[in-house]
Structure 1
Amino acid sequence: MNSQMIQHFFETLQRANPAPQTELEYASVFELLAAVLLSAQATDVGVNKATRRLFVVANTPAKMLALGEQGLSEYIRTIGLYRTKAKNLIATCQILLSQHGGRVPRTREALEALPGVGRKTANVVLNVAFGEATMAVDTHIFRVANRTGLAPGKTPLAVELGLLERIPPAFMVDAHHWLILHGRYVCQARKPLCGQCQVASDCDHGRQLAAAAKPHPTMAAAQ
């Protein structure tokens, strides 16, 4: 994808969804942090189902810490790796209370120092909660970046850096949402819905399919 295609790609996604939002349900920065931490190797639908019950009783670090690992586990046992996530979330609550006055920090360094919070989780919190132009590369965004030619890379970090470099600044804050939603519902892993894709003309894969569908010049002449 060249710069003109990238510009049109994001203009198209923006027209289709001017104000994209995360599909995780939350009502505070702490709830967002907890939901993102729980979402690793799990679906947003599954996380939302668990947190709808959890956040009613524990929507602050102090209340969640009061549950303890076992109590928290009872609310999130339907989520993959729930024991490890419960341990990390309780430890995170302890740090938030002891080092940050119960508030979620706004720096990458402080966020990544929290148990269970890696670069991707920190990027989501910085982007969604604080409006920073970060790019959290999950499996959907990794696939879209490579398949479309937007920012090919062999590792999530390589793709992240490529996206930060190639996406026009005007689209950067919302780009994470557009790309993840596009990967989740259109540019799917096993069978991308290229026939329904609004940005197929800008995409390397879409253009390859279109070229393959055209009749060969000699065949067209023979007809």
Structure 2
Amino acid sequence: RLSFARSEVQLKKCISGSLMQAYQACKAIIIKLLSRPKAISPYHLRSMMLWACDRLPANYLAQEDYAAHFLLGLIDDLQHCLVNKMCPNYFIPQCNMLEHLSEETVMLHARKLSSVRSDPAEHLRTAIEHVKAANRLTLELQRRGSTTSIPSPQSDGGDPNQPDDRLAKKLQQLVTENPGKSISVFINPDDVTRPHFRIDDKF
């Protein structure tokens, strides 16, 4: 297995705090929801995030209060990768990391992700509680001396931008303001100072 860990560390230094917060939130969701059968991992998500950084304007990605929009975008990108069974490795684009998956596994995860997309705030809250409970258990075991170092299931190199309730509230606001509708985030190259939405009556 090839490793590009050093390159990834350098690239992560260039990623905005709001995008990293969205990544951590999306990672918490997929760890809880898409871990079985094993198909999607944080590594897939990191590749998608790096591809998004190449694709989107830098001044849009630098917006500090767009974490909720970035999270929806990552979920949409992940859904697109699953439906098309195509997720190129960022460092080796010729390598499709989903090529080995069966159609049954792909569709199972795509359906799960559709449920997340229909109510992202609730799934994020559930994932946050899952992470908090796991962290509490880790601390308790460490206090008892049962282990010297149990990594948190949400740890990713000690990144401080873990998901919190504020992001869930922003997502909930987007959903509440558009009840029963599909919210698609897209980019207008002529105006990257704010996100743009397509609101559809049905998912």
TM-score by length of 1: 0.24
Structure scoring higher RCO (CA < 8 A, sep ≥ 6) equals: 2
* TM-score of the two chains, using structure 2 as the length reference: 0.26
Bigger helix fraction:
1
